[in-house]
Chain A
Amino acid sequence: RKEVEQDPGPFNVPEGATVAFNCTYSNSASQSFFWYRQDCRKEPKLLMSVYSSGNEDGRFTAQLNRASQYISLLIRDSKLSDSATYLCVPCPPLVSGSSNTGKLIFGQGTTLQVKP
C-alpha cells in the first residue's frame, strides 16, 4: 500500500458546488496532516493544518477518520479560483526522545477544475 493515495481526478464541478476529496494513508501512527494547494506550474502553498479530528477555515473543511485512515477535504461554494491541485500530506509520528527529521510525504494530488 502506498504511503498516501489520492484520486488524481480531475474533478470537474460547476461554480457554487460542494466537492470533497479523500486521501488515504498507510501509517496509522500519523497524528497530523497538511493540505497544500498547488496551482499549475507554481509551488505548493499550505492551505490547512489538521492536528486533531478536523479543521475548518471558511469554505474549507478537513475531516480526519483515523479508524479508516483517511482524511477528506471539503470545499463549499466552489469558486473559479479554487481550480488547482490539492496535495494531501500525512505527517510522520513524532518519536519521543529523538530528533524527528521533518520529512513529509506528499500525495500526488487531486486536481479540481471549477467551471463557470
Chain B
Amino acid sequence: DGGITQSPKYLFRKEGQNVTLSCEQNLNHDAMYWYRQDPGQGLRLIYYSQIVNDFQKGDIAEGYSVSREKKESFPLTVTSAQKNPTAFYLCASSRTIRVAASNQPQHFGDGTRLSIL
C-alpha cells in the first residue's frame, strides 16, 4: 500500500545534540512538508519542498534543516540551535500543483514525538 512512513515514532534528544527524523513516501508525490504541532495547538510549517533538490523555509525554520536528495525522502534535522524541540512532528506529501489544476490535499505520516532528556 502507498503511504508515508515516519521514523522513529518516539525520539529523545540530549542537550546539544542534533537528531534526524526520517520521512519516506511511495506515493510518487513531488511535494513534501514538515510541520510541528505543540499540545493544544495547530500545525506550523517548518520546511517544504516542491521538487527534488529544492526546499523552502516555512514559518518556523530556525533551528531546523532539511535535504531533498531523493523524491521519496525528506529528512528533518532538529539541531542544537532549536531550544524548544519537544513537539509532535508531522511529515506530509502532496501531488505537485500545476496551473489550472485544483489544490491538492496533503497526506500525513503518523508522526514522530520528540522529547528532551
Contacts and interface: CB of A to CB of B under 8 A. Distances in A.
B42 A107 contact: yes
Nearest to B109: A43
B42 A109 contact: yes
Contacts of B56: 101
A80 interface: no
B100 A94 contact: yes
Interface string A88-114: 000110111111111110111100000
Contacts, number: 72
Interface size class of A (residues with CB under 8 A): 20 to 34
Interface in B97-117: 97-111
23 contacts: A41-B88, A43-B90, A43-B108, A43-B111, A44-B43, A44-B90, A44-B108, A49-B105, A87-B42, A94-B99, A95-B99, A96-B100, A97-B99, A99-B98, A100-B97, A101-B50, A102-B31, A102-B48, A102-B96, A102-B103, A103-B45, A106-B42, A108-B42
